A = this chain, B = another copy of it.
């Protein structure tokens, strides 16, 4: 059956998202589309067909990333501009996360083709195979393969909850067998991504567009406070080594310091476990998580130093023993300055309320950020909700993202002398 193009004059961004929602619908507004699942495959195949209907040449790479390519007229310029986001969702996620970036790229490129014909430079719309880490214990499988950051990963040694290996899930869908081009791309000049904010800064500040200057560095710690279990009634306060008392004191100090050090610093204790966890027994052990994020390594280092000072002080004062394990240390990634400038100029020109900000959450742009010139745009998200069927962004905001993206792509791909290319060999 010949597919009809979904894109026409009256197509809204929301209607594209509603269509993509039909692949792996988990509820009225919820989606579960895990890497290499049938729903995921159906979505990628349907997009493949739709790209074809929109004059984009579709192709997969060997891990299942899908591209819709528009060949640039300038044949001497081999580099491509990649625009898009990821097709996978978390379990029972929303209708916007990931797919909005694909829909926005597709609509923008389709409209540019209709209004301006073929571009000078090659553009590809990307539906990246995986970002969320919801099926296998790894994230950014799509962008990580394109940028070679996942080359150490052995796909036969990674398993989902049902003990299916990443490798066998991949070959079951026809990938990983060399039938498609290898995913690594040395030919990318730019990566552009638009995403819902996953926070409520834009909404609360009444902004239309957020331009990300950097994606925060992220450190996660597990802190174990060891004290001594004792009877809660018969042990005087001055003879206790109460792990909970010390843990509470640390949590309080950590938060106070975070609030004082820098407005952009966030510090969160989200998880706690006490032993033996009984009302009338003094805890001998309290374990808690600490998640700290900031766009600068220096600030993260300062925070960590103070953390260690506070811990050493408490160990002396309270006779507890405290163990710190830093199990995540993601470096901050800056977006390309010239693209921040371009995005800001275009957004202002289109009369959008525009805010330059950082991203506290990870996105594919974080992986591309050290590989090619990368830009990340945000649109507001109602109540900052994400990874939930309650995700919602109004059409005018979805469209604002498309419009800024479209203007940026136009500048990069259509303008003969664009200052946003380092070298532009003219034909």
Interface residues of A (CB under 8 A from B): 197-201, 204, 216, 218, 220, 230-239, 242, 244-245, 247-249, 251-252, 255, 258-259, 263-272, 274, 276-283, 286, 289, 291, 293, 359-362, 384, 386
In the assembled complex, which residues on chain B have CB atoms less than 8 Å from the CB atom of A280?
Answer: 220, 268, 270, 291
26 contacts between A and B (CB under 8 A): A200-B234, A201-B234, A233-B291, A233-B293, A233-B359, A233-B361, A234-B359, A234-B384, A236-B264, A236-B266, A237-B259, A237-B267, A244-B251, A244-B269, A244-B270, A244-B272, A245-B251, A245-B255, A245-B269, A248-B251, A248-B252, A268-B280, A270-B282, A270-B283, A272-B286, A280-B291
How long is the Cα–Cα vector from A259 to B240 in the complex, in angstroms? 11
How long is the Cα–Cα vector from A268 to B234 in the complex, in angstroms? 11
The 4 closest A-B pairs by CB, nearest first: A199-B234, A233-B360, A248-B251, A279-B289
- Of the candidates B231, B239, B247, the one whose C-beta lies within 8 Å of that of A361 is B231
| A270 close to B234 (CB less than 8 A) | no
In the assembled complex, which residues on chain B have CB atoms less than 8 Å from the CB atom of A235?
Answer: 199-200, 266, 360, 384
How long is the Cα–Cα vector from A276 to B236 in the complex, in angstroms? 34
Interface of A is mostly: mixed
How long is the Cα–Cα vector from A361 to B230 in the complex, in angstroms? 12
How long is the Cα–Cα vector from A239 to B232 in the complex, in angstroms? 37
A229 to chain B, nearest CB (A): 9
A330 to chain B, nearest CB (A): 10
In the assembled complex, which residues on chain B have CB atoms less than 8 Å from the CB atom of A258?
Answer: 237
Other than A198-B231, A220-B280, A268-B281, give 12 A-B pairs with Cβ distance below 8 A: A199-B235, A218-B233, A231-B384, A233-B360, A233-B362, A234-B384, A235-B266, A242-B255, A244-B251, A245-B269, A248-B251, A272-B286
How long is the Cα–Cα vector from A71 to B211 in the complex, in angstroms? 93
How long is the Cα–Cα vector from A268 to B277 in the complex, in angstroms? 11
| B277 close to A274 (CB less than 8 A) | no
A60 to chain B, nearest CB (A): 32
